[in-house]
Every structure is written in C-alpha cells, then in structure tokens.
C-alpha cells in the first residue's frame, strides 16, 4: 500500500479521524497554554481561578477547531473555511474558561480527601467542558442532535479527564499534561461518533471510489448535497442542490432545482456529479433497488 493509499484509508476511517485530529488539536492547545506566566500559579484564590480558566480556554479553543476539522476531513469539506473558525474558537474558549474556573474553585475548597478532589471533581469538570463542546459540535455532525452531542461530550470529557489525571500523576508534569489533554480530545471525538452511530436510523453512503466511502446519518434535519458549504460538497453544482431527510419513518430526496421529491428505500442508489450515493436503513440488510440517476 502506497503512502497516498494509506492516507486515503485513514481519511475514510471515521474513528481514526475523530481521535487523531482532536488529539493533535488538544495537544497543540496544551503547548500554547504552557506560555502562560507560571507566576500566576501561586498567588491567591481569584488569581488561581483566573490562571486555570485561561489555561483551559487556550487548550479548549484549538481542540474545538480540531473537532470541526475532523468532521470536515471525513466529509471532504473545505478545511480553510472562515465560517468555522470564529464559532469553533469562541465556543472552545468559553467552554474551557467555564470548566477551568469551576474546577479550580471547587478544587480550592475543603471538600473530601485528596484523591476525591483530584480524580472525581477534576474529571467531572472536564466533563463540563466536554458537554459544552459536544453541544457545539453537534451543529456540525449531521443529525447528531444537541442533546446527544451534549451527553456524548459529557461522557467523553469525564473519560478523557480520568486519563488526564492518571497520566499527570505518573509522567513528568509537562509531558503528562500534553498527552493527557490529547487523550481528552481523542475521547471527546470518539464519544461523539459512537453516540451518533448508536442512534442513527438510516445512512447516506457517499461512494467516492473503490473502498472510499463516507457515511452520514439521516434524520429529521436535511442532509445537503451541493457545491457550497454542504454536508456533501461536490464541484460543479449549486449549493444545497439536493436535500435528504427522514419524515415519519420515510426517506425523501428533493431536487431543489426542479422541485421534484422522491421517496427512497433501503438500498436505493442515485448519482450526482459522477459520485454515487446509496441509502442504508440501520439494522437491515441491503435490498436491491435504485431510483436512477439524479443528475
């Protein structure tokens, strides 16, 4: 297998994309956060809260952008997209600042023994950050849903927080924070796609070529195919040229240019701009059938 084929196979593997990219984003944030003045670590209660809040915000901002990028890489969207930078970085900074402030405030109180504060409370605070990031990322992942995204982020944040606490305790301080925060990012990405898979009703399989398939969940929120900032971006066609959604258990595809609406079944296939699409109902074997070419 050539290097290009290997990279393609990695891009088509959602688990790899949603763990490695957030890991790298979180680790980068940790490196940047190391530039904060260490003098702020020692003064009083409020200063300590401010320091940890800033540290968490700096870590969380690139992590959130990495979660957005993971989704775009998998869907073959535009990575250089100014529309995602501001909301991703802002949401990440807010989530990190809130969770960091809460963590330091609670940690500074005389609550429980050292292990309880260090493991349970810190992990729970990472979960708070994960919940906010999961909620925000749900707007990018088709039909994940804000509630499921929030719960996935909460679970991933707690799991990643446990890994962070464990590594910080056994590795040198700098290396422990770097790898620990990276694990937090990977856990968040993995939790989000795991929850999305568990609750999907049907999928739209985008067949780019041999062994190159992108799978998107279908639901009540329309999945768009078009030449703009669409869920499936194809050159040479207008933005939002086709919409697919589920309504009362039935799958529909609408051609926005002609207004024609077609009902799709399990195994239905169609082609847009030389790219083939296939419908799969979750939990059912594929059945023969097609709707012909859509374009």
Residues 176 and 107 in one domain: yes
Would you state the pLDDT for residue 287?
A: 42
Residues 15 and 35 in one domain: yes
Range of the domain at 270: 202-281
Confidence of residue 36 (pLDDT cuts 50, 70, 90): confident
Residues 72 and 143 in one domain: yes
> How many whole angstroms separate alpha carbon 69 and alpha carbon 78?
9
Structure tokens at 126: 């990472």
Would you state the pLDDT for residue 168?
A: 82
The DSSP bridge partners found for residue 157 are none
| Residue 94, SS3 per DSSP | helix
Structure tokens at 227: 């030449």
| Total domains in the fold of the chain | 2
Residue 80 forms part of a structural domain: yes
Residues 134 and 74 in one domain: yes
Mean pLDDT of the chain: 86
Residues 179 and 234 in one domain: no
**Boundary of a domain, candidates 151, 166, 198:** 198
Residue 288 forms part of a structural domain: no
User: Taking the mean position of all CA atoms in its chain, how far away is CA 92?
Assistant: 12
The pTM for the full model equals 0.85
Digit-coded pLDDT (tens) for 101-138: 887 787 777 665 566 667 787 788 888 888 988 898 88
> How many whole angstroms separate alpha carbon 208 and alpha carbon 260?
25
Would you state the pLDDT for residue 142?
A: 87
Confidence of residue 3 (pLDDT cuts 50, 70, 90): low
Would you state the pLDDT for residue 37?
A: 72
291: buried, middle or exposed (CB in 10 Å: 19+, 13-18, 0-12)? Answer: middle
Residue 55 forms part of a structural domain: yes
CB distance 137 to 191 below 8 Å: no
């Amino acid at each position: 297998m050539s290097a290009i084929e290997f990279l393609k196979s990695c891009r088509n593997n959602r688990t790899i994309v949603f763990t490695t990219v957030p890991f790298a984003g979180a680790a980068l944030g940790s490196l940047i956060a190391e530039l904060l003045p260490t003098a702020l670590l020692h003064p009083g209660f409020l200063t300590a809260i401010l320091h940890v809040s800033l540290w968490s915000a700096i870590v969380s901002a690139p992590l959130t952008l990495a979660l957005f990028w993971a989704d775009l890489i998998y869907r073959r969207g535009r990575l250089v997209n100014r529309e995602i930078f501001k909301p991703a970085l802002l949401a990440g900074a807010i989530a990190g600042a809130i969770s960091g402030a809460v963590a330091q405030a609670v940690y500074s109180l005389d609550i429980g023994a050292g292990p309880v504060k260090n493991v349970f409370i810190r992990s729970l605070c990472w979960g708070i950050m994960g919940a906010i990031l999961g909620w925000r990322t749900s707007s990018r992942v088709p039909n994940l849903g804000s509630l499921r995204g929030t719960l996935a982020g909460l679970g991933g944040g707690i799991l990643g927080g446990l890994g962070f606490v464990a590594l910080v305790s056994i590795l040198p301080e700098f290396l422990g924070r770097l790898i620990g925060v990276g694990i937090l990012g990977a856990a968040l990405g993995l939790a989000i796609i795991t929850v999305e898979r568990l609750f999907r009703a049907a999928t739209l399989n985008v067949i780019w070529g041999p062994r190159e398939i992108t799978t998107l969940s279908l639901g009540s929120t329309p999945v768009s195919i078009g030449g703009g900032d669409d869920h499936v971006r194809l050159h040479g066609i207008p933005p939002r040229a086709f919409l697919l959604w589920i309504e009362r258990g039935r799958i529909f595809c609408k051609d926005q240019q002609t207004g024609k609406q077609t009902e799709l079944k399990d195994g239905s296939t169609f082609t847009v701009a030389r790219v083939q699409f296939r419908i799969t109902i979750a939990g059912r074997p594929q059945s023969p059938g097609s709707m012909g070419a859509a374009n």
